[in-house]
Amino acid sequence: MRFVPLACPAWGPKHRDPAMTSPVLIDRFDHMVLTVADIDETCDFYRRVLGMEKAVFAGGRVALGFGRQKINLHPAENPYTPRAKNAVTGAGDLCLITETPLDDVITHLQAEGVKIIEGPVAKTGATGPITSVYFRDPDENLIEVSNYN
C-alpha cells in the first residue's frame, strides 16, 4: 500500500491514489453518534462550552448541530438501532475545528470550569498542521478543539 499524506491541499478525485479500486468517493461526514448517560447534561455542556445547538428530530431523537454536521446522541440505557457493536459512554475521540483563536477557547474553557488535559500542542489535521487543546465531556469522551495553522 502506498502512503498518501494527510496534509493534501484538497481532497478529491485529482488527489486520489491511483491504486484505489473502489468507485466510491466519500465527500465528508454528515453525522456521527455519541452514546451518552444523560442527554440533557450532554446538550447543556456542548451548548455552553462549544456553542452547539440542540435539535430534536425523528420521534424525539436528539442531535447537536454545528456547521454542516451534527452529532446524534444515543441514550446509554436504551440505544437506538442500528448502533455500534460496543456502544458505550466515553468511547468517543473527536477533533473539532474552530476559527476562534485557541487563547480565547482556553479562556472560555477555564471560565466554564472545563479542565484542559493537554495543550496547546501541535498536531496534524486532515489537511495540514493544527494546534489543539484537549479536554473531556461529561461522559469522558476526549474532545480536541483545534485551529489550522
- Of 137, 138, 140, 120, residue with least CA distance to 129: 120
- Residue 144 annotated among the catalytic residues of the structure: yes
CB 3 within 8 A of CB 123: no
Q: Are 134 and 122 in contact (CB under 8 A)?
A: no
Catalytic: which of 53, 112, 140, 144? 144
Helix then strand then coil, in percent of the chain rounded to 5, is 15, 35, 50
What are the catalytic residues?
144
